Amino acid sequence: MNKKLLIFLVFIFVTGVIYLAILQLKITQSSHTIVPKNADYVIVLGARVKGTVPSLALKYRIEAAANYLIKNKDTIVIASGGLGPGEKISEAKAIKKGLMQRGIKETRIILENHSTTTYEKIQFSKRLIPSSANTGILVTNTFHVYRSLGMARDQKLNVYGLAAKTPASAVLKSYTREYLAITKYYLEKYIF
């Protein structure tokens, strides 16, 4: 093998490893922040629903949101997510059902059930935030907090990230997809 080609390949490999390490650091830092008490609103970002049953990732998001809402009685919640392939109910309806099963009153829950991407979930949810609201919380899984917060802040939302667990069975797939999604986000934000 040509020495210059070998040096180039090693450089690309090392650069890639450093890039992934930086992304992982940002993901980890974002998912370990302290959220304020009594936020004005919580947005629960939807995830896959299998028929009418929330995926484990979505179940963890619902649990994290419910735990926060139980302790912060004046905070409203926006359940966000439309109807995806193989879903019999929208992600938002699955979130609402899960929150109500955990004791959250229906009057505190606002549905946003038209979005299909993370960006849309934040964009469409923003329209439903009361005009008097200032501070919010985004609830999503650990791997997804960093990019979601970036998108929310791009839309001028004053939000904090509340990380729900990532299912152990989905860690490799979720993080691999998220590295690619963050890269796409960076390219769209800073280059294109």
**DSSP letter string over 137-170?**
EEEEEGGGHHHHHHHHHHTT-EEEEEEEPPPGGG
The rounded percent of the chain whose pLDDT value lies above 90 is: 93
**Phi and psi (nearest 5°) for 5?**
-65, -40
Helix axes of 3-30 and 145-154: crossing angle, nearest 10 degrees: 80
**Span 134-147, pLDDT tens digits:** 999 999 999 999 99
pLDDT score of 16: 95
Q: Which letter, b or e, does each residue of 173-186 get, where b requires 16 or more Cβ atoms within 10 Å of its Cβ?
A: ebbeebbeebeebe
What is the rounded distance in angstroms from the CA atom of residue 30 to the CA atom of residue 149?
8
Q: What number of helices (H) and strands (E) belong to the chain? A: 6, 7
Mean pLDDT of the residues in the chain: 96
Note the pLDDT of residue 154.
96
Q: Are 85 and 55 in contact (CB under 8 A)?
A: no
The pLDDT assigned to 2 comes to 86
CA 48 and chain centroid, separation: 12
Rounded distance between C-alpha atoms, residue 179 and residue 159, angstroms: 22
Q: Is 80 within 8 Å of 123 (Cβ atoms)?
A: no
Identify the pLDDT of residue 192. Answer: 79
Strand-strand pairing, 41-45 and 76-80: parallel
- Residue ranges of domains in the chain: 28-191
Q: Which CATH superfamily hosts domain 28-191? A: HUPs (3.40.50.620)
Segment 161-175 mean pLDDT: 95
Q: How many CA atoms lie within 13 A of 136 on its CB side?
A: 29
